[in-house]
Structure 1
């Protein structure tokens, strides 16, 4: 089997300084000082220089290396206990279904799997950007419409076989205050962002249970934990998705062959949030879809379940909920979260301007 294609061609051309973020610092630390192999090199180097075991540099560095090793082992044990064993993933036997896969993150994942020779079905109301990719079948479908999903599900099973990987990625953003939202916009938001996941799971999970293998990936958002101004409907739907994932994972606890994966990314540089500026590129960098796609694809390929949360700040955002209300209010003001949507334009304006962005 040939090596998987590189994702480097999808990388953005951001200015060099924009890559200097707290996430980069944490990544360097994880591969060096917080890596057991690297940590043990330090005491071994001292020992090679004939330092005695009672010398402070040697035993202190050895203690540090042992501490890092214990943390690494604890992390592996926690993952095993929380998410179980890996499932087997064979590219040639998998059928991947991606909702909202005509652009952005969904399209990127679809194209990568298509280039690998994996059978991929994309469900979207929009035509794929650049036309259909190799090994990617497009099904025009409003995933917020239950009857359309049911009809398309039958087509996919007839054309491609029973899906084994479901990526619920479809989403829309209105970017309006509560009183500015029409009833139709609210309903469409919840149908697309939330109910579509119920519809697809109900259609494709039975087939996974019969095969005793499958992966269900839920694309939520860091906004499921903190809801800024002008994102009430979007944040509410993403919070509900997180609850759906949690309950579904519990229901599938006795099905080790079926993995559930929750993804809660921060802001992505996709058309969905076109015009929104991050208050701090260092602490809250805008994610490139290729970076999120790499993590998702690696988890699927590895047969893993779990939770992908990036950038770094998104892993700790839940701590805000246990802080005093006054502290929470200050942090929201200091972070600029409730002012971030001031420049929001969205996909419609992007299309009118004739631009394209991942």
Structure 2
């Protein structure tokens, strides 16, 4: 869920309701107590309850068996709803992790090797800093086309490799270097991505090809490079940064949206391959499906009230990813929480889904490409 960093929003209300009214650990005992009091034939316990209410400044005459029954029924409904939500969360967690538990000490962050693509700035840098805050001794490998925009802390195990993730040969070379010079990665965060911000008609061949190479093909190839050792030891975590545009594709970033939809399919298919083909159920997978994040890559407004769909801060998203990695379990992260309901519309009637999609056409956003593409070579050029 979105955090207070994004200002007051519906996710905060949802979190409060879930921990109070829909918290079965609170409401079910209230339901049980109210039911007991409403059927107290002796009147002793009801009298005692009235005395307690009186001490709180509440009129004792208002405490009647009828009212107590109504309170009990309401608390029972709320408690049952909370119980169903908890059961759903429980099923979601264990299905996503193939019913295999993470044992204490199974993840040793002094020994794990984490690769973060696009970690030089933005969300990638936030993930690196979040990992270092949890354990400064963790070995982290940053793979990016641009140099680090931040200074690694003294004594930290930070490695930087320059690589053009649109070039498969470059990817293969840098992966070989990482394995030789650092070791076999146990965590891969596919964070690097680009958005050109042009319509299908206006975008060049290079725009379209670059978007798919960096956003979709590179994660595929990086997984191919690092997954075998994870499978061999039945230990690892692959986290992909996806987007809510994979559900609703706004104009001007259709190629970006399509590449992120490919990430969702890759995540779903890889889950099955790990269990049924490779017999490595404890290699965890996380798919981070995020709405717009406040970065220098775009300016403008979505036109949607911040209360409903807040513009996410880098710290909120990076914190969610790092917490998930440290949990030892994979999941699907959808931020902000309201976008869960948008994702559910994929099976809705076309008219309903189209109504939601039409709203994205009103976005007043200017996407700023992070890199320049050389018109002659089609290669990335550092801005």
Paired position in structure 2 for 1:340: 363
Q: Does 1:208 align with 2:227?
A: no
Q: CA deviation at 1:108?
A: 0.8
Q: Secondary structure at the match of 2:21?
A: coil
Structure 1 residue 127 and structure 2 residue 147: aligned? yes
The Cα of 1:207 is off from its aligned counterpart by 1.3
Q: For residues 342 and 74 of structure 1, do their structure 2 counterparts lie closer, same or farther at Cα, with a shift above 3 Å needed? A: closer
**Where do residues 218-297 of structure 1 align in structure 2 (5 Å cutoff)?**
218-253=240-275, 254-272=279-297, 274-280=298-304, 281-297=306-322
Match of 1:140? Answer: 162
CA contact (8 A) 1:111 1:136 kept: no
Which of 32, 35, 44 matches 2:20? 32
The verdict on how the C-alpha distance between 1:320 and 1:276 changes in structure 2, with shifts beyond 3 A counting, is farther
Answering whether residue 113 of structure 2 is matched by residue 95 of structure 1, we say: yes
1:194–1:238 CA contact under 8 A, matched in 2: yes
Q: Could you say what secondary structure the match of 2:300 adopts?
A: coil
Q: Which residue of 2 aligns with 1:183?
A: 205
* Cα shift readout 1:209-255 (whole Å, capped 9, x = no counterpart): 22220001111100011111101110111111111111111101231
Match of 2:89 among 48, 64, 75: 75
Once residues 318 and 62 of structure 1 are traced to their aligned partners in structure 2, the CA distance between those partners, rounded to angstroms, is 30
Partners of 1:238 and 1:276 lie apart in 2 by 22
The alpha-carbon distance between structure 1 residues 127 and 53, as it changes in their structure 2 partners (threshold 3 A), is farther
CA contact (8 A) 1:109 1:297 kept: yes
1:168–1:217 Cα contact (<8 Å) kept: yes
Q: What is the Cα-based RMSD across aligned positions, in Å?
A: 2.5
Structure 2 residue 167 is matched with structure 1 residue 149: no
Summarize the Cα distance change of 1:198–1:40 in structure 2 as closer, same or farther, 3 Å threshold: same
Shift of 1:191: 0.8
Shift of 1:78: 3.7
CA deviation after TM superposition for structure 1 residue 58, in Å: 5.3
Q: Output one character per residue of 1:21-65: Cα deviation in whole Å (capped at 9) or x when no partner.
A: 111211211222122223246447756875699940453224532
SS in 2 for 1:205: helix
1:85 maps to which of 80, 100, 104: 100
Task: State the distance in 1 between where 2:314 and 2:345 align.
Answer: 26
Displacement after TM superposition at 1:328 (Å): 3.2
Confirm or deny: 8 A CA contact 2:302 2:362 kept in the other structure.
no
What residue in structure 1 maps to residue 8 of structure 2? 20
Indicate the larger mover: 118-127 or 303-312.
303-312
Question: What's 1:114 paired with?
Answer: 132
- The Cα of 1:121 is off from its aligned counterpart by 0.2
Deviation at 1:290, TM superposition (A): 1.2
Aligned to 1:56: 69
Unaligned 5+ runs, structure 1: 1-10, 350-358
Question: Aligned pairs, how many?
Answer: 332
Q: Say which SS state the counterpart of residue 171 (structure 1) adopts.
A: coil
Q: Tell me the CA shift for residue 130 of structure 1.
A: 2.0
Identify if the C-alpha distance between structure 1 residues 53 and 210 changes in structure 2 by more than 3 Å, giving closer, same or farther: farther
1:81 to 1:322, Cα distance in 2 relative to 1, 3 A: closer
| Structure 2 contact 302–365 (Cα < 8 Å) conserved | no
> Do the aligned partners of residues 173 and 67 (structure 1) sit closer, same or farther apart at CA in structure 2, a change above 3 Å counting?
closer
Q: Aligned in 2, Cα 1:152/1:346: closer, same or farther, shift over 3 Å?
A: closer
Aligned partner of 1:354 in structure 2 is none
SS in 1 for 2:363: helix
CA drift at 1:96 = 0.3
Task: Give the number of the structure whose alpha-carbon radius of gyration is greater.
Answer: 2
| Bigger helix share | 1
Shift of 1:136: 2.0
